[in-house]
Amino acid sequence: MAQIALTIDGLGVDFGGFKAVHGVSLTVEDGELRVLLGANGAGKTTLMDLVSGKTKSTEGRVFLHDAEITNWEEHKIARAGVGRKFQIPSVFKDLTVRENLEVASCRNPGVLANLRFGFRKEAQDIDDVLDLIGLSDESNRLAAYLSHGQTQWLELGLLITQNPKVILLDEPTAGMTQSETLKTSQIVNSLKGKHTLLVVEHDMAFVREIAERITVLHLGQVLAEGSVEQIETDPKVRAAYLGSKGIG
């Protein structure tokens, strides 16, 4: 039986009477990729904030494997093995691609605090990561001169280098071209099984490429859960989010 990597139990936050997330419960198995879907304001990013410690919850609990990490400080959650990639890339522009990855692989907690990434004792081999993110030929290029897509892949590489148990990705294809989006789906798919992933995304072409199981949020609560096919045909989802045309 598969182990549960991430357990979210009745999680919520109240901002002065506004429940941005309320009573959300879900479990993500070891090595699973789970997509969080929902309209703007559904609570997707806020849920990621609660899991990563960026926002403190007012109800519910979060477990990483069997350890409760509810409302821990961000750096402690990162150190426990939860890595997060935000919508806006955070890379060292004045360093080369390889140097960025070397910084991410170092053991200095002060440097790692700048990266906000989760990490384990054994870092991934830098050459392997360069190959995985498709930047081997760009390894000596300054990060400042990378394209938008390449910058996003480098940040994903920084995250992979840390070898976190759970990876949180917030709209990883935002602003990408169609070909960049396809390449990102290939990178993300290659992480399945090795890492547990929770992905917030609204690009349905991308979701179709990566999704195993989808959790749909609506007004801060779980509306539905299932495969792409189940979500596409769920009348509750169609009424609340997808409209009469279905997904995409």
Res. 154: pLDDT tops 50: yes
Res. 227: pLDDT tops 80: yes
Write the pLDDT tens digit of every residue in 156-207.
Answer: 999 999 889 999 999 999 899 999 999 999 999 999 999 999 999 888 889 9
**Terminal CA-CA length for the chain:** 34
Average pLDDT of 28-34?
Answer: 96
Kindly state the tokens that stand for 166.
Answer: 């759970």
Percent above pLDDT 90 for the chain: 77
Handedness of CA 68, 33, 158, 120 (dihedral sign): positive
Look over the chain and give the mean of its residue pLDDT values, rounded to a whole number. Answer: 89
Q: What is the pLDDT of residue 172?
A: 92
Average pLDDT of 29-45?
Answer: 94
CATH class of 4-242: alpha beta
User: Which amino acid appears at position 91 of this protein?
Assistant: V
Average pLDDT of 49-66?
Answer: 97
Which residue did the predictor score with more confidence, 214 or 201?
Answer: 214
C-alpha 193/C-alpha 184 separation (Å) is: 17
Q: What is the pLDDT of residue 40?
A: 86
Q: What is the pLDDT of residue 90?
A: 81
Q: What is the pLDDT of residue 151?
A: 94
Q: What is the pLDDT of residue 123?
A: 52
Q: What is the pLDDT of residue 243?
A: 56
81 burial (CB, 10 Å; 0-12 / 13-18 / 19+) is buried
Average pLDDT of 128-139?
Answer: 96
Residue ranges of the domains in the chain? 4-242
Q: What is the pLDDT of residue 121?
A: 42
Average pLDDT of 12-23?
Answer: 95
SS3 per residue for the chain? CCCEEEEEEEEEEEECCEEEEEEEEEEEECCCEEEEECCCCCCHHHHHHHHHCCCCCCEEEEEECCEECCCCCHHHHHHHCEEEECCCCCCCCCCEHHHHHHHHHCCCHHHHHHHCCCCCCCCCCHHHHHHHCCCHHHCCCEHHHCCHHHHHHHHHHHHHHCCCCEEEEECCCCCCCHHHHHHHHHHHHHHECCEEEEEECCCHHHHHHHCCEEEEEECCEEEEEECHHHHHHCHHHHHHHHCCCCCC
What global pTM score does this model have?
Answer: 0.88
Write the pLDDT tens digit of every residue in 64-112.
Answer: 999 999 999 999 999 999 999 876 668 999 999 999 999 888 755 454 4
Contact residues for 246 (Cβ-Cβ < 8 A; gap 6+): 232, 233, 238
